[in-house]
Structure 1
Amino acid sequence: MRCEVAPVLHLDDGFDLRPALASDAGVVAQWMAQPHIVPWWESDWPVERWARSLDEQAAGEHSVPCLVAADGTDLGYVELYRVRHDRLAEYYAWREHDWGLHVAIGDVAQVGRGIGRRLLRALADAVLRADPRCDRVVAEPDVRNTPSLRAFAAAGFEPAGELQLPEKTALLMVRTRTVEAS
């Protein structure tokens, strides 16, 4: 069964989002090897492993792997997922229609320019538009990842407590439907 999200979400603020395919594994592997991503994702895998992961995600009901672009140029990797199908559901009081997201800005030239904040807001807005039953979009960045925490806060996500996950202490960040879209 496939994940319950449209294959492509329209994003505001000039972003395009498309499903990531096994043929995208090379660029995803390159991004995941970047020093600003490795400590947080721990997914510095070979291209072949990324190709398998992208295929498995596309075939399952858990998450939708995507590439995000601005001005026609790919700049990052995104995973959208239903929390109820994710291990994150074991760590907080999730709601039936909560969506989660993982984001990595892979293009080093785009890091530190406010892209993350804009992208996170656009992603949350798009998910909330696409699923009227969803009231919350969540994320669980590592508490030590200060740039990520700042970007989530600037995108309207509120901290909702620390979570002790097996690989990290995370801060649950929640964006509700009540935050005004910009």
Structure 2
Amino acid sequence: MLHLEDGFDLRPATTADAVQIAAWMAQPHIRKWWQQDWSVERWAQALDEQAAGEHSIPCVAALDSEDLGYVELYRVRHDRLAEYYAADEHDWGVHLAIGDSARTGRGIGRRLLRSLADAVLRADPRCDRIVAEPDAGNAPSVRAFGAAGFVTQGELQLPEKTALLMVRTRTVEA
């Protein structure tokens, strides 16, 4: 378990979390953007595969000890995203889904993203930037990343979406 600032905790997701993650991903506010409304079994398999690889770290985020969302931290150099911008070897990427719709629109995503980016930058001195690629049409996500100090660097045409490349650097005052 990693304790973040502002009351957040982050822990590695396991197959035991597949039921909760599948339920979150079925929520309309997530399903539309993530398109991963998978069965519990498929989520369990995906979590196992991620845990066994070097590409990404699936996590469950909590606020004041209450699980609220799913986070993926990933090394961009191991991800297809590296093909779409001038990625640095030590860039980290982040995906975030606040699962509880009652907790969206309250600044929790912004606060979690800020705390998470700060923690990654502290933990990895070689990393100078955290990147994200939210769908350009996902205004709440884009606002949350922006409020957490991520700066839009342009559009990326990914196979499944038009994304905004958003970057948080060590020098950003968030």
Superposition TM-score tier, normalisation by shorter sequence: over 0.9
Aligned equivalents of 2:85, 2:71: Cα separation in 1 = 22
Q: How does 1:66-85 map to 2 (within 5 A)?
A: 66-85=59-78
Q: 2:121 aligns with which of 114, 117, 128?
A: 128
Question: Does the alignment pair 1:144 with 2:144?
Answer: no
* TM-score using structure 1 length: 0.94
Aligned equivalents of 2:3, 2:51: Cα separation in 1 = 19
Structure with the larger helix share: 2
Residue 53 (structure 2) aligns with: 60
TM superposition shift of 1:62: 0.2
Q: How does 1:85-96 map to 2 (within 5 A)?
A: 85-96=78-89
Q: 2:33 aligns with which of 34, 40, 59?
A: 40
Give 5+ residue unaligned stretches, structure 1: 1-7
Residue 158 (structure 1) aligns with: 151
Q: In angstroms, what is the RMSD of aligned CA positions? A: 0.8
Q: Amino acid of the residue matched to residue 18 of structure 2?
A: A
Residue 104 (structure 2) aligns with: 111
Per-residue CA deviation, residues 64-86 of structure 1 (Å, 9 max, x unaligned), is: 00000011110000000000000
Residue 168 (structure 1) aligns with: 161
Question: Moved runs in structure 1, 4+ residues, more than 3 A?
Answer: none
Q: Amino acid of the residue matched to residue 78 of structure 2?
A: H
* TM-score using structure 2 length: 0.98
Residue 14 (structure 1) aligns with: 7
Q: Amino acid of the residue matched to residue 19 of structure 1?
A: P
Aligned length: 174
TM superposition shift of 1:154: 0.4
TM superposition shift of 1:9: 3.4
Q: Amino acid of the residue matched to residue 53 of structure 2?
A: G
Q: Amino acid of the residue matched to residue 14 of structure 2?
A: L
Aligned equivalents of 1:142, 1:39: Cα separation in 2 = 10
SS in 1 for 2:131: strand
SS in 1 for 2:28: coil
Aligned equivalents of 2:102, 2:123: Cα separation in 1 = 30
Per-residue CA deviation, residues 47-67 of structure 1 (Å, 9 max, x unaligned), is: 000000000000100000000
Aligned equivalents of 1:142, 1:134: Cα separation in 2 = 24
